[in-house]
Amino acid sequence: MTEVDMLLRDTLSDHAESAPAGAGLLTRVHTRSRLIRRRRRVGTAGAGVAAVLLGVAGVPVVTGLLPGDGPGEQAGGPAATKPVGTGTTPPSPEPSRPGGTQTPPPPTTAVLGPPTFTVPKVPFTAPTGVIDGLAPAAPLFDGKPMIMHSPDGDSNGKPMLTLYIGSDPGDFVTAGQDATVQVRGVSGKLGKPTDRAHPGTILTWTEPDGTSMVIVAGNIPDEKVIAYANGLTRVESTVTAPFSFKELPQGVELDTVNASDMIFRLPGQASSPGDFQYKLGFILNADGGGESASWPLTIDGRKAQLVPQDDGGTMLMIAQPNGYVLAIQVPVNLKISDADLFRMAEGVTVNPGAKGSRG
């Protein structure tokens, strides 16, 4: 694990239980931990397939985005799920929301039809050329808009930065050395945490229109973090939707979208960023398709299998030509026939900008 990984994971874990459910920082922790668990199911569902999946890393949801995003990171304990049509019971982590909703919501019967959702926009555009070596900006939406910069591959010593838009700065308070700074024409607070072994930088401020802003950064000089904030422009950024759909259950609403995942809440469900349990999910996993030749189903000419989940739901795994796996999480509270599920799956297109996640 790199110094930046430890910095950000320390910060995230410190606030994971105390911050409100909608807080951007907490949201990201819960979101990525859900995806670790869900994707590890995807990665291990085929017989003997090793799960090397994404950690607490946001979009573009590739290696090294946030803490716990290094090879071999583990999250959750094993639980058995047996793929349909195989004789192997691979390891599978604990349910997707520890301490979250334990009772399934009332069931919804799927009626397929054209999708009606709109991909949200991020209200800012990141500057370029301000921080040497900073990875390209990746706008995402998980209950609240965010922008992430994270290097592919080994992130050791490389700059990493996440901008949280609309999150409460109070959720990021840590013990440490704080300084008042001028940022974007207002007073902000630059924090240098001392209550963890790997301090980084946390910059918070409030825009003149009342929008609260937080930057969590590592391996970046303080003055460059402030310069990045000053370089933000009020121009909308487009979140890359990894999938297009011909049909979806009517009434579902988009809760989370990044470059590898789209999570939909069912009719009547409240938005709960970072909590994917009991929701319809589409996840592109960069690992897990190597043994798909043995899978018993064929969907749109591609090998597939159904994997019962330990929370009562089902995961439909569909091998992709590049070795990736499209995993469709069908929660126990969504009543859909296999015929309709397969029809919906046949209408899913992996868009060119999609990025498979891996650890």
pLDDT (tens place) for every residue of the chain, 359 residues total = 334 444 444 444 443 333 333 333 333 333 333 343 443 333 322 222 112 212 223 333 322 323 333 333 322 222 223 344 433 333 332 234 334 446 888 999 999 999 999 999 999 999 999 999 999 999 999 888 999 998 877 778 899 999 999 988 877 766 667 899 999 999 999 988 776 555 689 999 999 999 999 999 999 999 999 999 999 999 999 998 999 999 999 999 999 999 899 999 999 998 887 788 999 999 999 988 888 999 999 999 999 999 999 989 999 999 999 999 999 999 999 999 999 999 999 999 999 989 898 74
Structure tokens given for 126:
């990141």
Q: How far is CA 118 from CA 22, 121, 239, 255, in A?
A: 20, 9, 11, 11
Q: What is the model's pLDDT at position 102?
A: 64
**Helix (H), strand (E) at residue 31:** helix 24-44
Query: Are 249 and 112 a contacting pair, CB within 8 Å?
Result: yes
Q: What phi, psi does 334 have (nearest 5°)?
A: -105, 115
Structure tokens given for 268:
């009547």
Q: Which residues pair with 297 in a beta bridge?
A: 304
**In the chain, what is the straight-line distance between the N-terminal and C-terminal CA atoms, in Å?**
12
List domains and CATH numbers for the chain: 121-238 (3.40.1000)
Structure tokens given for 211:
């929008």
DSSP code of 86?
A: -
**Helix (H), strand (E) at residue 42:** helix 24-44
Q: Say which residue the tokens 């739901």 belong to.
A: 313
| Total-model pTM | 0.69
- Ranges of beta strands (E only) in 230-300 are 237-238, 243-245, 248-249, 253-257, 261-265, 280-285, 297-299
